[in-house]
Structure 1
């Protein structure tokens, strides 16, 4: 059985501001429909992704900025960060995790590490091991994104 993630709904406070932000970040606009004064739906897709984001007016009751830990997979985190910064997206510096391959948390565009011995270290992971280098950003409402460098998938993934 295939289970394919199609879309993630993001809570935003200003639809036009969010649309401008994601367009500047390079997301493709798929749909922008206003159905009534109370319902507008914007559907956008990150470059190279099969999963999209949806936001708008009347699309979700969650408070704006409460979605965290959205992963965008990139082949080169430094180049991806550089491109996004060039597009006007405020980004963290590239970092890696001293405690292993997987990131331990994300809040408000910044990495949050939990547990003894977990430490965020500036720069990409020295061996450029897949799953080990990151950069973060948030949209204007604070929904948090994480770039994760993956050049080779682990077996079974």
Structure 2
């Protein structure tokens, strides 16, 4: 049985502001539907992705900005970061984790950790797949991670 992730719900406080941000970031608008004055849904898809995001009015009860560690996989971290910056998106500098594994949270956000992560400047020196990152947030603080993957692990 195949199980395919199709949509991720994002909690936002201002639907139009979020829509403008994601369109500016290059996401494709798939749907902007208002059922009545109490409900509106907006769906967008990142370039090249099979999974979309949806947000809107009365779409979720989660606190705006509470979605964290949303990964966007890219084949060239430097090019992806530069494109987002050119589009006016504030993106962190490229980094890698001292222990190779970055789990999408800033230090101190997660209270139960096996280990603290340590960001080191620049891409992973050998540019190994899964090893280089950059982060950005939408206007509400929903947190995104760019991760460079040039070769998938076996079984993917």
Which residue in 2 is equivalent to 1:86?
A: 86
Where does structure 1 differ by over 4 angstroms across 4 or more consecutive aligned residues? 110-117
C-alpha displacement at 1:94, in angstroms?
Answer: 0.2
CA contact (8 A) 2:72 2:144 kept: yes
Which residue in 2 is equivalent to 1:55?
A: 55
List per-residue Cα deviations over 1:61-106 (Å, max 9, x = no partner). 0010000000000000111000000001111000001112x21332
Q: CA RMSD of the aligned region, Å?
A: 1.7
2-side partners of 1:112 and 1:132: how far apart? 21
1-side partners of 2:11 and 2:114: how far apart? 29
2-side partners of 1:145 and 1:118: how far apart? 17
Which residue in 2 is equivalent to 1:9?
A: 9
Q: TM-score, normalised by structure 2?
A: 0.93
List per-residue Cα deviations over 1:81-136 (Å, max 9, x = no partner). 00000001111000001112x213324xx897955574110000010000000000
Q: TM-score, normalised by structure 1?
A: 0.93
CA contact (8 A) 2:97 2:119 kept: yes
List per-residue Cα deviations over 1:18-67 (Å, max 9, x = no partner). 00000000000000011111100000000000000000001000010000
Unaligned runs of 5+ in 2: none
Q: How many residues align?
A: 154
2-side partners of 1:105 and 1:90: how far apart? 17
Q: Tell me the SS of whatever aligns to 1:148.
A: strand
1:105 aligned to 2:104? yes
Unaligned runs of 5+ in 1: none
1:34 aligned to 2:42? no
